[in-house]
Amino acid sequence: MIERSSTEKSGGGIRIDREKCVVCGACSAVCPSEALIVEGLALVAVPERCRPCAQAALICPTGALTCPVAEASRNRFNRARQA
């Protein structure tokens, strides 16, 4: 079992913050490559499956998932909103 207090990086650069993750399953439901799997009371990353699409990070209700693609999308959105 993976410690919930750790932050881990999977393929595609996605990071799981175990302190914030409530294992709701929203990320695994939207992940098109099935790189995030809920197993019991833990979210498990399968790095070799991850494609950097940012869907899981963008849907996460607690902000437990972050990745470079999601950050770039948020930055573009914020710049467009300020314009």
Q: Is 60 part of any domain?
A: yes
Q: Is 2 part of any domain?
A: no
Q: Is 67 part of any domain?
A: yes
- Enclosing domain of residue 61: 7-82
> Residue 78: which H helix or E strand, with range?
helix 68-82
Q: Is 68 part of any domain?
A: yes
Q: CA-CA distances (angstroms) from residue 43 to 4, 39, 82?
A: 9, 6, 35
Q: Is the pTM of this model over 0.75?
A: no
Task: Residue 31: give its domain's CATH number.
Answer: 3.30.70.20
- Beta strand ranges found along 33-78 (DSSP E): 36-39, 42-45, 65-66
Q: Is 14 part of any domain?
A: yes
Report how many domains make up the chain.
1
Q: Is 1 part of any domain?
A: no
pLDDT tens-digit profile, the chain (83 residues): 333 334 455 556 788 999 999 999 999 999 999 999 999 999 998 878 888 788 998 899 999 998 877 777 777 877 888 87
Q: Is 72 part of any domain?
A: yes
Q: Is 64 part of any domain?
A: yes
